[in-house]
Amino acid sequence: MLHLAILISGNGSNLQSIIDAINNHQLNAVIDVVISNKANAYGLERATKANINTSVCVKDENLTANEKIINVLKKYKIDLIVLAGYLGIISKELIQKYQSKIINIHPSLLPKYGGKGMYGINVHEAVIKNKEKESGCSVHYVNEEIDGGKIILQTKVKVLSTDTPQTLAKRILPYEHKTLIEAINIIDKQYDK
């Protein structure tokens, strides 16, 4: 059984899809902790409702957010860290401590529309501006290059001529949920070997 830590910054719909997949036995995993870099992230309420431990990690005069995250993770035996709508920076130290054990869901067909500044609605605005015929989402390993790690799974989604960034974002989101669950299952099967 995979022990997961989920990092969030906002609504937490990707977190919710993992909670639901575990409850529906589509994932052989347990979420040990949900960590947010925003105290008001709705995803924290989703975690609390599901009786999952939560922690808010914001830098203060003594520790950076990443140092706090590392201290929280130390309390558990985490197999996989999932960045699910997480908008904070992942430090070199955290990446090294959890080498090839951190994945991210990104709302584009990487390597296109990835990298610095390419998150949330910015991605879909750029896709529409460039008149792309297709977009989608990618689950990838996290390394020191933003959105640059090895891709685990991608799903293509058609871009309609009538699409706005908002309608495209809305249509891609459910595919993110589905692709993220499938990617975690791919990793789980690698652990079983």
Would you name the residues annotated as active-site residues? 106
Q: Does 135 bind ligand GRF (CB under 6 A)?
A: no
Which residues are bridge partners to 3 per DSSP? Answer: 30
Q: Does 114 bind ligand GRF (CB under 6 A)?
A: no
156 and 94 in contact (C-beta within 8 Å)?
no
Q: What is the distance between the alpha carbons of residues 121 and 47, in angstroms, rounded to a whole number?
A: 24
Q: Does 107 bind ligand GRF (CB under 6 A)?
A: yes
191 and 79 in contact (C-beta within 8 Å)?
yes
Q: What is the distance between the alpha carbons of residues 113 and 123, in angstroms, rounded to a whole number?
A: 6
The correct pick among 10, 114, 136, 149 for binding ligand GRF (CB under 6 A) is 10
Q: Does 84 bind ligand GRF (CB under 6 A)?
A: yes
Q: Does 165 bind ligand GRF (CB under 6 A)?
A: no
Q: Does 120 bind ligand GRF (CB under 6 A)?
A: yes
- CA-wise closest residue to 153 among 121, 112, 109: 109
The correct pick among 4, 6, 12, 118 for binding ligand GRF (CB under 6 A) is 12
Residues that bind ligand GRF (CB under 6 A): 8, 10-15, 43, 84-85, 105, 107, 120, 173, 176
